[in-house]
Structure 1
Amino acid sequence: MAATRYSVEARRLLRTHLPERSDALGMSVREADLGLRLDGAGHGLLDTTHFDTVRFPPPEWAAGVFAAAAEDGDNAYTAYRGGAEVLRACARSVSTLLGVDVHPEHDIAVTTGTQGGLFATLSALVDFGDVVALADPEYLFVERMLRFLGAEVVRVPMVDDPAGPQLDLAALEAVARGGIRLLLTSNPNNPTGTVYTEQTIAGVGRLAVEHDFLVVVDELYCRLVYDETPYFHLAARPGLRDRTITLLGGSKTESLSGYRVGVVVGPPEVIDAVEQVMAISCLRAPAYAQHVLTRWLTDDVEFVRDRVLELRALREMTAERLRQVDGLVVQPGNGTAYLWPDVSALGLSDVQVAKALQADAGVVVSPGYQFGPSGTGRFRVCFARDEAVWSAALDRMVLALNGAAS
């Protein structure tokens, strides 16, 4: 009798391949990623899927704070939700940032980066079969996390607005009428860079109360906003404090990504549940690294101000240069360090564009399909790079895209 052959990957992991997108892509999302070698390694190419942390390093104090914490072995083990000193400092600074009172023992947890915080939060809140509304487009790993957890994902599109694309509130209301567990979105939005207006935030809050759903909002880039664009925290809206879970961190604007620490803020029962997930998955965020959060949001105000100015100049340079590609459309958002160019007029798919840029320009970009169905014909590029190196890369990209489209 022949031996029974088993799939190595569990069914829950196979769901993260998003095979239902095969009709549009011709393959699963996982297969498309593998074909483009999108595994975070870069493979010797200029990788624009993340920030250049050589050109944009962390604040000078970060390494010293980490080293001082590491000198005391008593710091190695903390409560699962974070060390008491760190939580007290974060509660104070996050309260000021959000405009809400954050209690250090009940309302906040330190997580393994914002990514780990996102997964812990969703694992704590989402059951198999729950309906989750997800912005389209949205950060590439969110839908995969939700599918891993067995959720039914319903995409909510963006609509054009003078302030930049905004969440379609009418579409959200239509979904909410059928019953949803939660809405998940990012603000500023990754990948579009759009910042939600006060009207959008108010509309989301109204619908959350009327239809009784939670909102998980990733505010990782809330300090990376250009031209004094107004920013509104959902948790600060009347009646939203107890149904909003806010994800924060210093991994991008402050380049603290290598320290792998983030923050989740929410109602006490949610934080308790997040702590349970952390206890069985990672025990705690990196204990010595947690201490960099004691100076985050307080000792980096001028640092962030200067960084935003530098990134704004890079944003303008990148948009101007990419517009040299015939038919390419780019509309910079008011936040993040990403652009979301539309290349559909070039007659190329986003996979073809990504392949051409790797082969002919030596540049890795994030193809639009990763961010949702609306990403077809787009790509995401991070412009937080060394100016001279990036200028040369943009020259190659323009040549490669014009050549591929001809």
Structure 2
Amino acid sequence: MSNSRPAQHRRVSERVSAIAESATLAVDSKAKALKAAGRPVIGFGAGEPDFPTPDYIVEAAVEAARDPRNHRYSPTPGLPELRKAIAEKTVRDSGYPAEPENVLVTNGGKQAVYEAFATLVDPGDEVIIPAPYWTTYPEAVKLAGGVPVEVFAGPEQDYLVTVQQLEDALTENTKVLLFVSPSNPTGSVYPPEQIRAIGEWAAEKGIWVITDEIYEHLTYDDAEFASIASVPELKDRVVILNGVAKTYAMTGWRVGWMVAPADIVKAAANLQSHATSNVNNVAQRAALAAVTGDLSAVDEMKKAFDRRRRTIVSMLNEIDGVECPTPKGAFYVYADVRPLLGRTLKTESGEVTPTTSAELAEAILEAVDVAVVPGEAFGPSGFIRMSYALGDDDLVEGVTRLQTFLGKES
């Protein structure tokens, strides 16, 4: 809705005013604030591993901090050594023929997301976003002037969209398909054959694919990571987003990257040169150690995530009115709580009857000091996302509180 006030009377621009707050960070911030105030809050909101960054990565950063070379500006697209290492890693893991000139190092994955949409999307261009989606995607599209087009896939299809659903959403204004596997918020992993079919469909339609592969190394059971960028027909129309945050427990280091055709990287680097310039050199050196190192530390984290995954799914499915599919990737569960909506629940301040998952999340936080993220942050109401990247004891205690408050199946 347009603001009719004269421009000089508007304190904040319409563009920025229209941005929705990051719901996941808002939940995490509220949980931390309540905990600081003395309440025994257990937060399932933030997608952040509870492990420290591996020692060899920290040591690389310490050494880099002592090196005067890292005290100066460096090239906006990233340190040459890191761009080369990311290109080699992308060839190995994503099957995409990347060279250093195809790599742009960014201040975390979020900057890569924003710059990808800002570089590709003009006002009025449509971006197909499978839902449930990570809360930042549609906001980044809108900031670029684009139009997010949601395509919802529910738990009955394991939260995986089909080619037919994408075809039904396609219009003459479609410019980009966003693709994410393993998924945040659902933890779903597309099988290779479905990825190939979607990639070939996008290539046939002549649209771009932006693929977020930040959870590539976090898969479980028989699930395999496969990159849509490996579809040969997409070579000149695909952008890969990734980073060190999730795989190496480096959320606070703020190093992500974009891999794309050289002209797209050059344009995005030009944008970044006016926004932030180069990424912190010490963090880049740490990322270099991570990307060139082995995955043994990651494998240890995966064992813990897998154990917690099985526990949280089992316990949530004991709650009357909760259906929680077993995720095959990342570190989230996305529980269907639609049967709980309209049910009267007792809290210390009285009875409540939540009609949305947002109201349910508020009731849960008030009643039992457990913070979850409601489905409205990721698409339709009626679901909650819970991260299992927290300690085992807290996880069990938190879900036990939910069982007590919501009731277990008899």
TM-score (normalizing by structure 1): 0.88
* 1:14 to 2:17 alignment: yes
Contact 1:59 1:254 in 2 (8 A): yes
Q: Is 1:38 the counterpart of 2:27 in the alignment?
A: yes
Counterpart mapping for 1:156-171 below 5 A: 156-158=151-153, 164-171=158-165
Task: Give the Cα–Cα distance (whole angstroms) in 1 for the partners of residues 7 and 242 of structure 2.
Answer: 47
Deviation at 1:396, TM superposition (A): 1.4
What SS does the corresponding residue of 2:91 show, helix, strand or coil? helix
Q: Does 1:367 align with 2:363?
A: no
The question of whether the paired residues in 2 share the 8 Å contact of 1:353 and 1:401 is answered with no
Match status 1:199 vs 2:193: yes
Q: 2:16 is matched by which residue type in structure 1?
A: L
Q: Which amino acid aligns with 2:205?
A: H
Cα distance, 1:298 vs. partner? 3.8
C-alpha distance 136-37 of structure 1, shift in aligned 2 (>3 A): closer
Aligned counterparts of 1:266 and 1:275: Cα–Cα separation in 2: 11
**Distance (whole Å) between structure 2 residues aligned to residue 339 and residue 327 of structure 1:** 16
51 and 61 in structure 1: CA distance in 2 versus 1, 3 angstrom threshold: farther
| RMSD of aligned residue pairs (Cα, Å) | 2.5
Asked if the contact 2:102/2:262 (under 8 Å) is kept, the reply is: yes
1:226-241 mapped onto 2 (5 Å cutoff): 226-241=220-235
User: Is contact 1:217-1:245 (8 Å) kept?
Assistant: yes
Could you tell me how far 1:372 is from its partner in structure 2? 1.5
Comparing 263-272 and 150-159, the one that deviates more:
150-159
Give 1:177 deviation, angstroms: 4.3
SS at match of 2:281: coil
Q: Give 3-state SS (helix, strand or coil) of 2:27's partner.
A: coil
Task: Sort the Cα spacing of 1:37 and 1:306 in 2 relative to 1 into closer, same or farther, 3 A.
Answer: closer
- Structure-1 separation of matches of 2:176 and 2:253: 29
Deviations 1:239-283 (A, max 9, x none): 112111111112112111111001211110111111112111111
- Partner residue, 2:38: none
CA deviation digits over 1:52-83, x for unaligned, max 9?
Answer: 54x42211112111111111222232110101
Report SS of the residue matched to 1:341. Answer: strand
Q: Is residue 112–residue 241 contact of structure 2 (8 Å, CA) maintained in 1? A: yes
Write the mapping of 1:212-291 to structure 2, written as runs, cut at 5 A: 212-291=206-285
Match of residue 397, structure 1, among 380, 389, 402: 402
User: Could you tell which deviates more after superposition, 248-257 or 197-206?
Assistant: 197-206
SS of residue matched to 1:127: coil
- Structure 1's 310 and 350: CA in aligned 2 closer, same or farther, altered over 3 A? same
Q: Which residue of structure 1 lines up, in the alignment, with residue 120 of structure 2?
A: 125
User: What does the per-residue CA deviation read over 1:364-398, in whole Å, with 9 as the maximum and x for residues that have no partner?
Assistant: 2111101123xx11011101111112221221122
* 1:226-248: CA deviation from partner (whole Å, max 9, x where unpaired): 01412211111121121111111
Q: Is the 8 A contact 2:215 2:329 kept in 1?
A: yes
Residues in 1 aligned to 2:296 and 2:302: alpha-carbon distance in whole angstroms: 10
Q: For residues 51 and 371 of structure 1, do their structure 2 counterparts lie closer, same or farther at Cα, with a shift above 3 Å needed?
A: closer
Q: In terms of mean alpha carbon deviation, does 3-12 or 172-181 score higher?
A: 3-12
Change (3 A) 1:230 1:279: same
- The answer to whether the Cα contact below 8 Å between 1:135 and 1:158 also exists between their aligned partners in 2 is yes
CA offset digits 1:160-188 (Å, max 9, x no partner): 677x3322211211333434110112111
Q: Which residue pairs with 1:302 in the alignment?
A: 296
**What's the CA shift string for 1:144-202, capped at 9, x where partnerless?**
1112222111112226677x332221121133343411011211111111111223212
Match of 2:79?
83
Q: Structure 2: any 5+ residue segments left out of the alignment?
A: 1-5, 36-40, 342-353
> 1:357–1:364: 8 Å Cα contact kept in structure 2?
yes
2:61 aligned to which of 50, 66, 86: 66
What does the per-residue CA deviation read over 1:21-54, in whole Å, with 9 as the maximum and x for residues that have no partner? xxxxxxxxx5x959x953745312333222454x
- Contact (CA 8 Å) 2:48, 2:246: kept in 1 or not? no
Is the CA contact 1:131–1:182 (under 8 Å) kept in the aligned structure 2?
A: yes
Distance between the aligned counterparts of 1:185 and 1:99, measured in 2? 16
Cα distance in 1 for residues equivalent to 2:23 and 2:218: 28
Q: For residue 295 of structure 1, report the CA deviation from its aligned partner.
A: 2.4
3-state DSSP of counterpart to 2:152? strand
- The amino acid that maps onto 1:68 is E
- The SS at the match of 1:139 is coil
Answer yes or no: is the 8 Å Cα contact 1:356–1:400 preserved in 2.
no
Contact 2:28 2:43 in 1 (8 A): no
Where in structure 1 are there 5+ consecutive unaligned residues?
18-29
Q: Counterpart of 2:12 in structure 1: which amino acid?
A: E
CA contact (8 A) 2:28 2:371 kept: no
Contact persistence 1:51–1:385 (CA under 8 A): no
Q: Percent identity?
A: 25
